Homo-oligomer: A and B are copies of this chain.
Amino acid sequence: METAVNLKKRVYLFGGGKNEGNSRMKPLLGGKGANLAEMASLGIPVPPGFTVTTEVCNEYQEFGKDTVVRALTLEVTNGVQHMEKLLGAEFGSVKNPLLISVRSGARDSMPGMMNTVLNIGLNEETVWGLAEKANNEWFAWDSYRRFIQMYGDVVMRVNTYLNLDEDPFETIMDEIKEKSGAKSDQELSLEDLQLVVSRFKEMIEHATGQEFPDDPWTQLWNGIMAVFESWNIPRAVFYRKLNDIPDEWGTAVNVQAMVFGNLGNNSCSGVAFTRNAATGEAVFNGEYLVNAQGEDVVAGTRTPLQITTKGSKNWAVFAGLTEDERKKSYPSLEEYMPEVFGQLNENQKILEDHFRDMQDLEFTIQEGKLWMLQTRNGKRTGEAMVKIAMDMLDEGLIDENTALMRLDAKKLDELLHPVFDVEAIKKAKNIAKGLPASPGAATGQLVFFSDEAEQWKDAGKKVILLRVETSADDLKGMDAAEGILTARGGMTSHAAVVARGMGKCCVSGVGSLRISYKKKEVIIDGNTYKEGDWISLNGSTGEVFEGKIDTVLPKLNSDFGRLMKLADDHAQLKVRTNADTPDSARIAREFGARGIGLCRTEHMFFAKERITPMREMIMAETTEEREAALLKLLPMQRSDFEGIFEAMQDLPVTIRLLDPPLHEFIPNDREAMAKISEDLGIPIEKIENRSHQLHEVNPMLGHRGCRLGNTYPEITRMQARAIIEAALNLKEKGIRAMPEIMVPLTGTKTEMEFQEQIVRDEVESIFKERKLRLDYKVGTMIEVPRAALTADRIAESAEFFSFGTNDLTQMTYGYSRDDAGKFLPVYLEQGILSVNPFETIDELGVGKLIKMAVELGRKTRPGMKIGLCGEQGGDPRSVNFLHSARLDYVSCSPFRVPIARLSAAQAAIRELMLSRAN
């Protein structure tokens, strides 16, 4: 290490015309660092500084602090000199101190996940320098106490020593405020602040056993290391897992000269979006706070003002005010500082045009001078994502491939989220209004704590998480909740940003909420709502309603339709749906499904009037009795199939023969058995016996799938008859059905041949009876590893394959989905598994079987149609793999069809781009 260490460039300068990085260097400089360099190169006013690379983060994790500090010393010193020169200030100087911020900056933004330290360089001496420079002693000491608080928390990690329920800094602040009679931080006197500073330092030293460092360089080095250290704090690790960010990417550290938005009423801090992040509307928008530092805007402790009044104004907080009143109390930045706003507006145009994507900007105005602190591609809702992409495509800013590749397919889900039922919402009681922080409708039971949200969800309940404001500690609870409601915070608050990222409904900044965590209740307008009470949120309007409100599906707009058409133009993989009823078949068809890839027949048997003949069939002691019971089921199945075929007219419908073990149709408890005994007129002992006989130790590996059809061929015969008779009935009405009969759980060629023969014999006899024929196919699921391994042989009989990756994953890993809850979460947490193979196809194992089966199957039957109908069919990463494995189609639940269509297009484009790159 020692010698190699210094050969590598670890620090990249930016600002003042000396810009060593650019926006293409995100893997090395992180998103923020790369963009700061790029921004500076564009002539945008950026406070100067430098970026320590992400590689150093990995070096830190591997070799530790000392080695890294040694490796960085020269370059960091040089970087500080770069800042000193440009700002004419000196780091550690008492007269004209340079203050420095240290911020994390990963390749992909991880908002609020890692640590930041501001105002590095302050100590008992330099604080007076700052006071003089700013002509404001109060500000200087307030900055100093903020710095100690932040440094004590983030770098010295006081809380890990103390393990208190209350924040020790807040405790001290509260004590001194009480003593001095101050109602807010602002009312504290200079002496109070000085007392705070000394009390803070005492507390830190007492807790950690370490003196608070006065040396600016010690502060700086520790600050940089603390950012690297924060890459592995639990909330950051969890966030990465949630967002599939590899651990080895690491974070860069951005060290930058401080500018101040809190030097009086001529200073402010703000955040802005070049387009509307919620709707996608092409209007510059954002929020700002006068006399405040950046974190005040983001933290949501004060509700910020808008930078402009143009564009969508659906925030309810303005309701009821006249325009003059509004202008006076809530002026926009455009109104408050028109000239600076003009510069800001100019800069945002330059940046969006340059990056060709919607930008999320941070800025500070220090005594009238605008500094741009950050630009990055803005997070957005699914709706905004689609609109911005299609708008930019229309504007000629990007091409089709870019428009499609830029979309996060999973986020389309948001557009498909339910909204409130129109009639139900009419009767609903609106109890509060807040900011429409993340769109969609949600209804659930109130909970007040993140861990309880998780527990209630695990217990099968729908919850709304209610918090004063959220923090990174609430991530899991937010993930578990249907919707999030907060009392404080704006559109860029933690709650809002994270909820939009999750595609989850959120209403924020509802000031009328009086929350008692202790009593687990909230008072709204004098009414008390307790834990467990039902409440509903409209994340698109900011409205809060009492009680449970039914939701319905959203109508999709024309951008969505155009996008989907565009996707289909690029995709090779077709998308079908898994649907068992005419209704879901119709919905899926509206979402663009090109047929049914999996129609499960067993669900049909659970309906009230069917379960009785089904049970008769199971209780039958002879083939004849079984056939008699099946004869009762025949017309019901036939009419189901007619409905489904009709909904999918002219498109293929793959129907799977009976799959689950028969014991699933016989309840276990004596009471239910007594009922069956009565229904069927069979002594309860017989039912108990049969139930006992059907019991299995490992039902997943038991008597099910084609093992049923081969031991009770009459079941297969009945189902084949129902399918073909239904198709013929429609044919007589001029409706074209395209049935594909699918054998489940095939493991050997002979199993398939037996089933095929039973089906074909029955179908031929129907054709003879009816004197009418039609085309149909007989194929099989590939869901048993052996079927994949011997697919060449099975293809001798099967006309098509459909991968059942739920079962295939279970058997390939030996994981029972019913039982994996006992170890899978631990495995994911410890990184033994990087993804859940039931959500995303395991390419190394299950994927290998899939590729093998495709190759073997088509060796026997060239051009054979091959699809997939497991849960992973709607997962973008899996779709990408399945495209490369040369499947013909994937089949997923109706609501995931659009996601799969987009993912299929992206897979095709990705492949094209790769082939061009090679």
Contact = CB atoms under 8 A, between A and B. Distances in A.
Interface string A694-708: 001111111101010
Interface size class of A (residues with CB under 8 A): 35 or more
A819 interface: yes
A786 interface: yes
A811 B785 contact: yes
A813 B703 CA distance: 12
Output the residue of A745, A811, A832, A845 with the most chain B CB within 10 A: A832
A786 B845 contact: yes
Contact of A707 (B698, B783, B785, B823): B823
Contact of A793 (B748, B822, B844): B844
B701 A810 contact: yes
A816 B786 contact: no
A710 B846 contact: no
A205 interface: no
A754 B832 contact: yes
Interface string A679-698: 00000000000000000111
A701 B819 contact: yes
B710 A816 contact: no
A677 to B, nearest CB: 23
Contact of A699 (B698, B750, B784, B810): B698
A833 interface: yes
B823 A790 contact: no
A842 B812 contact: no
A849 B745 CA distance: 19
Contact of A710 (B698, B812, B826): B826
Contacts of A816: 696-702
Contacts of A812: 784-786, 789, 811
A852 to B, nearest CB: 9
Contact of A701 (B698, B710, B842, B848): B698
B748 A702 contact: no
A815 interface: yes
A894 to B, nearest CB: 28
A823 B710 contact: yes
A112 to B, nearest CB: 30
A245 to B, nearest CB: 18
A814 interface: yes
A807 interface: yes
A62 interface: no
A772 to B, nearest CB: 33
A1 B669 CA distance: 63
Contact of A697 (B699, B830, B833, B849): B699
Interface in A822-858: 822-823, 826-827, 830-833, 842, 844-846, 848-849
Instruction: Count the copies.
Output: 2
A481 B830 CA distance: 54
Given A748-B833, A831-B750, A833-B748, A846 B786 contact: yes
A818 interface: yes
A751 interface: yes
A711 to B, nearest CB: 5
B822 A703 contact: yes
A747 interface: yes
Given A812-B785, A832-B751, A700 B701 contact: yes
Contacts of A811: 701, 785, 811-812, 814
Contacts of A786: 812-814, 842, 844-846
B832 A710 contact: yes
Contacts of A848: 789-790
Given A750-B831, A832-B748, A785 B845 contact: yes
Contacts of A823: 703, 707, 710-711
A728 to B, nearest CB: 30
A103 to B, nearest CB: 33
Output the residue of A745, A814, A818, A820 with the most chain B CB within 10 A: A814
Contacts of A707: 822-823, 827
A173 B121 CA distance: 122
Contacts of A698: 698-701, 816, 818-819
B832 A750 contact: yes
A462 to B, nearest CB: 25
A900 to B, nearest CB: 25
A814 B703 contact: no
Contacts of A832: 710, 748, 750-751, 754
Output the residue of A701, A705, A784, A811 with the most chain B CB within 10 A: A701
A819 B785 contact: no
B784 A827 contact: no
A844 B833 CA distance: 30
A784 B815 CA distance: 10
A846 B789 CA distance: 8
22 contacts: A696-B816, A696-B819, A697-B700, A697-B819, A698-B699, A699-B816, A700-B701, A701-B701, A703-B819, A703-B822, A705-B814, A750-B832, A751-B832, A784-B812, A784-B813, A785-B811, A785-B814, A786-B812, A789-B848, A789-B849, A790-B845, A811-B811
Interface of A: 696-703, 705, 707, 710-711, 745, 747-748, 750-751, 754, 783-786, 789-790, 793, 807, 810-816, 818-820, 822-823, 826-827, 830-833, 842, 844-846, 848-849
Given A696-B816, A703-B823, A785-B845, 13 more contacts: A697-B700, A698-B701, A698-B816, A698-B819, A699-B819, A701-B819, A705-B814, A711-B822, A748-B845, A754-B832, A784-B814, A785-B812, A786-B844
